[in-house]
Chains A and B, each alone.
Chain A
Amino acid sequence: MQTQASKRQFLRTAGIAAVAAIIAPRLAGASPAEVAAEIKKLYGDKKMESGRIKLDVPQIAENGLVVPINVEVESPMTSADFVKSVHVYAEKNPLPAVVSYKFTPEAGKAAASTRMRLAETQDIVVVAEMSNGQIFSTRAEVKVTIGGCGG
C-alpha cells in the first residue's frame, strides 16, 4: 500500500456525488397503498376504468430532479361530456400528490404538461374524472438510475 501526501485533498472530492444524490438518506417515501388510500378518499370504491388517458413519461429519467410528464385525456370536451379533473401521483415520493388539474369544456382539450421531481424509481399514477362520473386511471413506471458506466 502506498499513501500520498495529497490523499486528504481527494477525500473531500465530490467524486460520486451523483451516486450520493440518489442513494443518500432522504425523507421517507410514500407507498402505493397510501396513494390508493388518497384516491379512495376522492372517489370511494368507484370502478377505475382503463383507456382514454395518454400518459407520456420517460421510461428512464435523464434527470430525476426534472422529469417531464405529459397527460392527455380523450374527450369531446362539450358541456355534456368533458373531463372534470386529472390527478397525478408519484407513488414513492415523500409527498406523492404531484399535481391536480381542473378542466371545463372551454378548455377545448384536456391536456397538460409539467415537470416533476422523482425521489426514486416508481410508478406514476394518473386518475381522470369525467363529467358523467366515470373514473379512468393509468400508470407508468419511471426509472431513476445512478447512471454512468455506459459502453
Chain B
Amino acid sequence: MISRREFLQATAAAGLITSASGLGPLGRAAAQQRITQADITRFDNLGAVTILHITDVHAQLLPLYFREPSVNLGVGEGKGKPPHLTDDEFRKHFNIAAGSPDAYALTSDDFVQLARNYGRMGGMDRIATLIKSVRAERGDDKVLLLDGGDTWQGSWTSLQTKGQDMVDIQSALKIDAMASHWEFTYGADRVQEIVKSAPFAFLAQNVRSLEWQEPVFEARKMFERGGAKIAVIGQALPRTAVANPRWMFPDWEFGIREDDIRKQVEEARAEGADVVVLLSHNGFDVDRKLASRVKGIDVILTAHTHDAMPGVVREGETIIIASGSHGKFLSRLDLEVKAKKVTGFRYKLMPIFSDVITPDPDMKALVEKIRAPFEKDLSRELATTESLLYRRGNFNGTFDDLICKAMLEERDAEISLSPGFRWGGTLVPGDAITFDALANATAMTYPNCYRNTMSGEQLRLVLEDVADNIFHPDPYFQGGGDMVRVGGLGYSIDVSKPINQRITDLVELKSGKPLDLKRNYVVAGWGSIAQNVEGPPIWDVVEKYLARVKTVRLEPNTSVKVTGA
C-alpha cells in the first residue's frame, strides 16, 4: 500500500497551489493564481516507460468549457469513494484549494467565475504540444500513447465525416492503440473500414461474432518501450449493444468477458510481457471491481464514466487511472520496471489550460483544415444564453433542460425525454449558442426526435429501468451514463432501493397533478435505440426553438427529488 501522502503527490497541477489559507471569495483568490505551460508539464521522471492516456475526447477539436458534475452518486461499495465525490468532498480528498486552477478543472461550484478566470480547456493543438513535449523529453522509444475511445463521436465535423476527422487527428498524434464505444454508432462496416487502414491498433478483446463467437478485433498488442515489453489489452464498452442501437452492428456481441481477460493476461505474460495494461472502456466502478477479481493487470486506464482524478486509485496490485473527458486532461504515468515487474510509478493528470499552452502549429492547421468545409454551419449563431448551460450530473443539467423544453414546445408534447449522455460542452452566461455548440451536445447517428404516446406506467418503467442501470449496487450491472432527463414531469428517486422501488411521486409539472399511470401521454424524445425512428434530428428541433426565443434563460430545475444517497 502506498501512503496517502504519496497518493496525493500527483495532484492535477501540483505546485500551482501555494497556500490554501486566507482565501477570500473564490473568484478573486483564483485570479491571483498563475499557471504556465512549464507548471503543467513539470514531471520528475521515473523509470524508462511513460504511458500517456487520453480518453472520451468526444471529437472536441477546440478548447471548450466543461463543467464537472455537482451530483455524481456512488452506490454499494462505490458510495463515498472517488470518483463519487464532488465539490468540497472532492477537494478535501485530493487536497485541492477552493478557487485554484485544479478546483476549476475538477469540480463544479463557482464554475462561471472560475471559467472567466482560467478560460477554456482542451484543444487538440494544445494536447499535441504536450504530447510532443513529453516525447521530446523522454524519447519516442519510451512513450506509449493510448486512447480510451469515445473519440470519433460528439461534434458536427465528426458526424459529417463519419469519424474521419478524429481518425486523422489520432494518426497525427501518433496514438499507438485505442479502445471503443461510440465508435460503433457509425455502423459495423464503417468501423471495419477504419480499423483496416488506421495506423494505430483498435483493440477489443470483448467483441465476438454472434454466430460463431469468434473475435472480431485484435484483442491485445505487445509494445516495446524503454526496454520493457508492454502488453495492451483493449476492452470496448461491455454494454454497447444495450446502450446504443444494436441494429447498427447486428452481428456483434459484447459483454465484460472476465474469463477472457484472465486468458489475455496469462497469454501476455507467457509471451514475456513485463507490464500488462488494460485499455478499458468499462467505466470506473466496473474497472475497480474487475481489478479486484482479475489478477495480474498492472495498470487499468479507465474511461466511459468521464471521471477525472488527480491521483491513482489502487485496487490490490493494480493502478487505476481516470483521465477525464473532452480533451480537458492528458494523463502521464511513468513506470519503473525491474526484473519483469513494475517496481514504482509516478502519475500526473495534466490539465489542458488552453490559454497557457502554446498550440502546436501542425495540429492547429489540421484542425482548421477539418473545420473549414463546415465553417458556415459551425459559426452560425442561434441564440444567446443568459444561463450556464451544462449537461453532466446524475439527474439533470441545464443544457438538457433547454433541449427538453424545446421538444415540449416544438413537438407539441406533454412530456419530453432526453438521454442521460455524459458528453457535450458547457456554455457560460453571455455566450452565443452557435450551431457548433448545439452539435457538441447532440451530434450522433440516431438523432431523430420522435413523437409518440406512452402510458404513465410505461414512463415509470422507463425511469426505473434507466435508474437501475446507474444505481444498481453491483457495478457489473451498471452501464454508465446518467439518468434520463425529463421535461414536463417530476419525480422522487431513492437511489438506495432496488429496481421498481426507486421512483415515486411522479407528477405532471404543468397541472401539478400526480402522473396518471393508466392514461396515455404525448411524449417527445430523441436518441432512441430502435430502428426506423421517425422525426426531425434533435438539432433541428432545438434550432427552431432557439430561433424563436433568441435568448435562453432557465429557472433552477427542482423537478427531481433525490434521497438514499
Binding site for B on A (CB under 8 A): 1-4, 7, 9-20, 22-23, 58-60, 62-63, 68, 121, 143, 145-151
- Bound complex: CA A58 to CA B477 (Å): 11
Report whether B452 and A11 are in contact in the complex, using a CB–CB cutoff of 8 Å. Answer: yes
CB < 8 Å: which of B304, B422, B479, B535 contacts A13?
A: B535
- Bound complex: CA A146 to CA B450 (Å): 17
**Does chain A have a CB within 8 A of B419?**
yes
A-B contact pairs, 29 of them (CB 8 A): A1-B412, A2-B412, A4-B411, A9-B534, A11-B452, A11-B453, A13-B533, A13-B534, A14-B533, A14-B534, A15-B452, A16-B528, A16-B530, A19-B454, A19-B458, A19-B462, A22-B461, A58-B255, A59-B476, A60-B239, A145-B242, A145-B465, A148-B528, A149-B419, A149-B420, A149-B527, A150-B240, A150-B242, A151-B420
The smallest beta-carbon distance between A114 and chain B, in angstroms, is 13
- Bound complex: CA A68 to CA B523 (Å): 34
| Extra A-B contacts (19), CB below 8 Å, given A10-B411, A14-B530, A149-B419 | A2-B412, A4-B412, A10-B534, A10-B535, A12-B534, A13-B534, A17-B530, A19-B454, A19-B462, A59-B477, A62-B246, A63-B241, A63-B246, A148-B466, A149-B481, A149-B527, A150-B239, A150-B243, A151-B482
- Bound complex: CA A108 to CA B527 (Å): 49
Type the 1/0 row for B213-252, where 1 means its CB is closer than 8 Å to any CB of A.
0000000000000000000000001011111101000000
Report whether A11 and B412 are in contact in the complex, using a CB–CB cutoff of 8 Å. Answer: no
- Bound complex: CA A14 to CA B451 (Å): 9
| Most chain A beta-carbon neighbours within 10 Å: one of B181, B419, B484, B530 | B530
- Bound complex: CA A3 to CA B448 (Å): 18
Type the 1/0 row for B447-473, where 1 means its CB is closer than 8 Å to any CB of A.
010111110011001100110110000
**Does chain A have a CB within 8 A of B122?**
no
With A23-B458, A60-B242, A62-B242 as contacts: A151 and B409 at CB distance below 8 Å: no
- Within 8 Å CB of A22, what residues of B? 461, 465
Report whether B466 and A149 are in contact in the complex, using a CB–CB cutoff of 8 Å. Answer: yes
- Bound complex: CA A39 to CA B411 (Å): 53
**Top 10 nearest A-B pairs by Cβ distance?**
A150-B243, A15-B450, A151-B481, A151-B422, A13-B534, A62-B241, A149-B419, A17-B530, A147-B242, A10-B451
The smallest beta-carbon distance between B531 and chain A, in angstroms, is 7
**Closest residue on chain A to residue B529 by CB atoms:** A148
Report whether A60 and B452 are in contact in the complex, using a CB–CB cutoff of 8 Å. Answer: no
**Does chain A have a CB within 8 A of B410?**
yes
Report whether B237 and A150 are in contact in the complex, using a CB–CB cutoff of 8 Å. Answer: yes
**Closest residue on chain B to residue A61 by CB atoms:** B242
- Bound complex: CA A10 to CA B528 (Å): 14
**Closest residue on chain A to residue B253 by CB atoms:** A62
- Bound complex: CA A11 to CA B410 (Å): 15
- Bound complex: CA A121 to CA B304 (Å): 25
- The DSSP consensus for interface residues of chain A is loop
- Bound complex: CA A16 to CA B453 (Å): 9
| Most chain B beta-carbon neighbours within 10 Å: one of A7, A17, A149 | A149
- Bound complex: CA A95 to CA B528 (Å): 30
The smallest beta-carbon distance between B58 and chain A, in angstroms, is 10
- Within 8 Å CB of B468, what residues of A? 143, 145
Interface residues of B, count at CB 8 A: 58
- Within 8 Å CB of A145, what residues of B? 242, 465, 468-469, 479
- Bound complex: CA A22 to CA B242 (Å): 13
Report whether A148 and B451 are in contact in the complex, using a CB–CB cutoff of 8 Å. Answer: no
Tally of contacts, chain A with chain B, CB under 8 A: 137
- Within 8 Å CB of B253, what residues of A? 62, 68
| Most chain A beta-carbon neighbours within 10 Å: one of B304, B306, B458, B532 | B458
The smallest beta-carbon distance between B377 and chain A, in angstroms, is 23
Report whether A62 and B451 are in contact in the complex, using a CB–CB cutoff of 8 Å. Answer: no
Scan residues 250-283 of chain B and give those whose CB is less than 8 A from a CB of chain A.
Answer: 253-256
- Within 8 Å CB of B239, what residues of A? 60, 150
Report whether B244 and A150 are in contact in the complex, using a CB–CB cutoff of 8 Å. Answer: yes
With A10-B450, A23-B461 as contacts: A143 and B477 at CB distance below 8 Å: yes
- Bound complex: CA A19 to CA B455 (Å): 12
- Bound complex: CA A59 to CA B244 (Å): 17
- Within 8 Å CB of B242, what residues of A? 60, 62, 145, 147, 150
The smallest beta-carbon distance between B527 and chain A, in angstroms, is 7
Report whether A150 and B480 are in contact in the complex, using a CB–CB cutoff of 8 Å. Answer: yes
**Closest residue on chain A to residue B499 by CB atoms:** A121
Report whether B243 and A148 are in contact in the complex, using a CB–CB cutoff of 8 Å. Answer: yes
CB < 8 Å: which of B244, B246, B256, B530 contacts A15?
A: B530
**Does chain A have a CB within 8 A of B60?**
no
CB < 8 Å: which of A4, A10, A60, A149 contacts B477?
A: A60
Report whether A62 and B255 are in contact in the complex, using a CB–CB cutoff of 8 Å. Answer: yes
With A19-B458, A148-B243 as contacts: A13 and B421 at CB distance below 8 Å: no
- Bound complex: CA A13 to CA B451 (Å): 7
- Within 8 Å CB of B305, what residues of A? 151
- Bound complex: CA A63 to CA B255 (Å): 12
- Bound complex: CA A151 to CA B454 (Å): 24
CB < 8 Å: which of A2, A9, A14, A63 contacts B532?
A: A14
CB < 8 Å: which of A16, A59, A62 contacts B450?
A: A16
CB < 8 Å: which of B421, B452, B469 contacts A16?
A: B452
- Within 8 Å CB of A59, what residues of B? 256, 476-477
The smallest beta-carbon distance between A14 and chain B, in angstroms, is 5
**Does chain A have a CB within 8 A of B423?**
yes
The smallest beta-carbon distance between B76 and chain A, in angstroms, is 15
The smallest beta-carbon distance between A20 and chain B, in angstroms, is 8
- Within 8 Å CB of B304, what residues of A? 151
- Bound complex: CA A16 to CA B533 (Å): 8
- Within 8 Å CB of B422, what residues of A? 151
- Within 8 Å CB of B27, what residues of A? none
With A18-B528, A19-B458, A151-B480 as contacts: A13 and B452 at CB distance below 8 Å: yes
- Bound complex: CA A3 to CA B524 (Å): 13
**Does chain A have a CB within 8 A of B149?**
no
**Closest residue on chain A to residue B465 by CB atoms:** A146
- Within 8 Å CB of B411, what residues of A? 4, 10
- Within 8 Å CB of A63, what residues of B? 241, 246
**Does chain A have a CB within 8 A of B525?**
yes
- Bound complex: CA A17 to CA B482 (Å): 22
Scan residues 392-420 of chain B and give those whose CB is less than 8 A from a CB of chain A.
Answer: 409-412, 419-420
The smallest beta-carbon distance between B399 and chain A, in angstroms, is 14
CB < 8 Å: which of B421, B531, B533 contacts A149?
A: B421
